[in-house]
Amino acid sequence: MNIQIKISKNPISYIKAIKYMEKRVNDIKLGKGRDLLWILEHPLTYTAGIRSNKNEILDKKIKVIKTNRGGKITLHDRGQKIIYLVIDLNNKKKDIRKFINFIEKSIIQFLNKYDITAKTDKNNIGIWVKNKKIAAIGLRLSKWITYHGCSINLNNNLNKYKKIIPCGLNNNKVTSLKNETNNKIINVNKNLKEIFLFNISSI
């Protein structure tokens, strides 16, 4: 499989990451770019997807970046892992539901590594633990090339969600890996890379 693995040790600004992905999408369209699996973190950033509205911003002082991904308002911060996926589905099955299933399956398997039982919810996109959301998914397609991806809360400060209504949910219904396990949060990048790479062959 011709896919680039990119793991960033230092936080990457949201705007810089989006520009990088958009360039990769255009390169793939021109036949000059490879698929991309990118594992990273962002500094504290609030973003609004295409289905968001201003009523979801509870603290009007915060800066919110409008983005073209699916979904509503959410945040990114240190201690939350982002997995961006720039994947050309023209070379695979053009089935976005199957692609989302691949992401859901990968997140659930990742959480299982830390003895956390997680699940999907047919009424709400994302991954859930004990009726609290631990991972969010937001995608964009351009001529069947995916970009954006998912976020998983590891040990980020959940109080920062109180400034918004995240993903249209009560902001008390958000959790993290740290909140749900006593296990050490180790080998995160390694586990994410191995699980997502293994499962991507199914799409």
Contact 4, 196 (CB under 8 A): no
Residue 92's SS3 state is coil
pLDDT over 70 for what percent of the chain?
97
Answer yes or no: is pLDDT of 55 > 90.
no
Residue 202: the pLDDT is: 80
Q: Which of 83, 198, 87, 99 is closest to 135 using CA atoms?
A: 83
Residue 176: the pLDDT is: 97
User: How many residues are recorded in the chain?
Assistant: 203
Give 123's pLDDT tier (boundaries 50, 70, 90).
confident
Q: Pick the residue with more confidence: 75 or 50?
A: 75
**What does the pLDDT look like over 19-29, one tens digit per residue?**
999 999 999 99
Query: Residue 90 carries which DSSP code?
Result: G
Give 76's pLDDT tier (boundaries 50, 70, 90).
very high
Catalytic residues: 167
Task: Report the chain's mean pLDDT, rounded to a whole number.
Answer: 93
Give 168's pLDDT tier (boundaries 50, 70, 90).
low
Q: Which residues contact 21 (CB under 8 A, 6 or more apart)?
A: 36, 38, 84, 86, 147, 148
Give 146's pLDDT tier (boundaries 50, 70, 90).
very high
Instruction: State which fold the 3-200 domain adopts.
Output: BirA Bifunctional Protein; domain 2 (3.30.930)
Domain ranges of the chain: 3-200
What is this structure's pTM? 0.95
